Amino acid sequence: MKKNFLPLLILLCGCSVAVFAQKSEQKTITVEVSNHWNQSKTDEPVVIQLNKLSTGFRIKSVTVMDGTTEIPSQLDDLNNDRQPDELAFVVNLPAKSKKRVTIHLSNAKSTKTYEPRVYAEMLVSDKRGKHVPVHSVTIPGTSNIYNQMHHHGPAMESELVAYRLYFDQKQTVDIYGKFNKGFEIKESQFYPTDEQLARGFGDDVLLVKGSCGVGALKGWDGTKATHIEPVSTLTERIIAYGPVRTISEIEVTDWAYQGKDLNMTTRYTLYAGHRDLRIDAFFEEPLGDEVFSTGVIDIPGSVSSSDHNGLIGCWGTNWPVNDTIKYAKETVGLATFIPQKYVKKEVKDKLNYLYTVGVKGAKSFHYYTTFTSMKETFGYKTPEAWFAFIRQWKEDLEHPAEVRMIK
- Condensed to tens digits (0 to 9), the pLDDT of residues 117-169 reads 999 999 999 888 899 999 999 999 999 999 999 999 999 999 999 999 999 99
pLDDT per position as a tens digit, 210-229: 999 999 999 999 999 999 99
| 26-35 β-sheet, strand order | 69-71, 61-66, 97-106, 26-35, 402-406
Domain 25-113 belongs to what architecture? Sandwich (2.60)
Least confident range from 3-12, 232-241, 388-397: namely 3-12
pLDDT per position as a tens digit, 333-386: 999 999 999 999 999 999 999 999 999 999 999 999 999 999 999 999 999 999
Contacts 24+ apart (CB under 8 A), 51-56: 51/85, 52/405, 53/27, 53/29, 53/105, 55/25, 55/27, 55/105, 56/25, 56/27
Half-sphere exposure of 49 (CA within 13 A, CB side): 3
The candidate with the shortest Cα–Cα distance to 45, out of 404, 405, 403, is 403
Question: What phi and psi, each to the nearest 5 degrees, are found at residue 365?
Answer: -155, 165
Question: What phi and psi, each to the nearest 5 degrees, are found at residue 383?
Answer: -60, -35
Q: Residue 312: enclosing H or E segment and its boundaries?
A: strand 311-318
For residue 368, give Cα distances in angstroms to 62, 154, 337. Answer: 28, 18, 5
Torsion over CA of 253, 134, 168 and 302, rounded to 10 degrees?
-120
Mean pLDDT for the chain? Answer: 94
**pLDDT at residue 5 in the model:** 44
Average pLDDT over residues 84-112: 96
DSSP 336: E
**pLDDT at residue 321 in the model:** 86
**pLDDT at residue 120 in the model:** 98
Give the DSSP letter string of 109-170: --------SEEEEEEEE-TTSPEEE-SEEEEETT---TTTEEEEEEEEEESS-EEEE-SSTT
Average pLDDT over residues 3-29: 57
Collect all residues with Cβ–Cβ distance below 8 Å to 2 and sequence separation of at least 6: none
Q: What CATH number was assigned to the domain covering residues 118-403?
A: 2.70.98
Higher pLDDT, 3 or 49: 49
Is the bond leading into 243 cis (omega within 30 degrees of zero)? yes
**pLDDT at residue 114 in the model:** 97
Question: By three-state DSSP, how is residue 309 classified?
Answer: coil
Q: Would you say 96 and 36 are in contact if contact means Cβ atoms under 8 Å apart? A: yes
Residue 401 pLDDT more than 70?
A: yes
Verdict on whether the full-model pTM lies above 0.85? yes
Please give the Cα distance from 209 to 320 (Å, whole number): 10
For residue 299, give Cα distances in angstroms to 141, 207, 261, 294. Answer: 30, 9, 33, 15
Q: Would you say 165 and 171 are in contact if contact means Cβ atoms under 8 Å apart? A: yes
Count of beta carbons in the 10 Å neighbourhood of residue 73: 20
Residue 8 pLDDT more than 50?
A: no
Collect all residues with Cβ–Cβ distance below 8 Å to 333 and sequence separation of at least 6: 313, 314, 315, 371, 372, 374, 380, 383, 386, 387, 389, 390
Gyration radius of the chain's alpha carbons: 24
**pLDDT at residue 10 in the model:** 40
pLDDT per position as a tens digit, 279-326: 999 999 999 999 999 999 999 999 999 999 999 999 999 999 887 878
**pLDDT at residue 179 in the model:** 97
**pLDDT at residue 22 in the model:** 59
Segments making up each domain of the chain, as ranges:
25-113, 118-403
194-230 burial, b if ≥16 CB within 10 A, otherwise e? eeeeeeebbbbbbbbeebbbbbbbbbbeeebbbbbbe
**pLDDT at residue 127 in the model:** 86
3-state helix, strand, coil in the chain (%, to 5): 10, 45, 45
Burial of 365 (0-12, 13-18, 19+ CB in 10 A): buried
Please give the Cα distance from 89 to 302 (Å, whole number): 37
Average pLDDT over residues 51-72: 94
**pLDDT at residue 23 in the model:** 75
Residue 262 pLDDT more than 80?
A: yes
